[in-house]
Structure 1
Amino acid sequence: MILNMGDTENYISFIEKGIARFVIPKEDVDKEITFGFCFKNEFISAYDSFLLRKPALYNVQALTPITMWSISYADLQEVYQHTVIGNLIGRLSSERLFLIKSKREQSLLNETATERYLKLFTDRPKLIKEIPLKYIASYIGVTPQALSRIRKQIS
Structure 2
Amino acid sequence: MKKGDTERYLSFIEKGSIRFYVPNADKDLTFGFVFQNAFVSAYDSFLTQSPCTYTVETIEDTVLWRLTYNDLQIIYDTTQIGNTIGRKACEDLYLKKTKRELSLLNETAEVRYANLFSERPELIKHVPLKYIASYIGVTPQALSRIRKRIS
- Name the counterpart of 2:64: 68
Query: Per-residue deviation at 1:132?
Result: 0.6
Distance in 1, matches of 2:60 and 2:52, equals 22
Distance in 1, matches of 2:126 and 2:62, equals 14
- Name the counterpart of 1:34: 30
Counterparts in 2 of 1:11-90, with a 5 A limit?
11-28=9-26, 31-90=27-86
Query: Per-residue deviation at 1:26?
Result: 1.6
Q: Which amino acid aligns with 1:46?
A: A
Instruction: Give structure 1 regions of 4+ aligned residues with deviation exceeding 4 angstroms.
Output: none
SS for the counterpart of 2:82 is helix
Cα RMSD of the aligned pairs, angstroms, is 0.7
Residue 120 (structure 2) pairs with residue 132 (structure 1): no
Distance in 1, matches of 2:11 and 2:74, equals 16
Distance in 1, matches of 2:24 and 2:68, equals 29
Residue 95 (structure 2) pairs with residue 99 (structure 1): yes
Q: Which amino acid aligns with 1:79?
A: I
Query: Per-residue deviation at 1:27?
Result: 2.4
Residue 121 (structure 2) pairs with residue 120 (structure 1): no
Query: Per-residue deviation at 1:117?
Result: 0.2
Q: Which amino acid aligns with 1:33?
A: L
Name the TM-score, length of structure 2 as normaliser.
0.98
Q: Please give the per-residue CA displacement for 1:54-105, whole angstroms capped at 9, x wherever unaligned.
A: 1000110000011000100001001111111111110010000000101100
Aligned residue pairs, count: 151
Q: Please give the per-residue CA displacement for 1:91-142, whole angstroms capped at 9, x wherever unaligned.
A: 0100000001011001001100000000000000010121110000000000
Distance in 1, matches of 2:134 and 2:40, equals 20
5+ residue gaps, structure 1, are: none
Distance in 2, matches of 1:17 and 1:82, equals 29
5+ residue gaps, structure 2, are: none
Name the TM-score, length of structure 1 as normaliser.
0.96
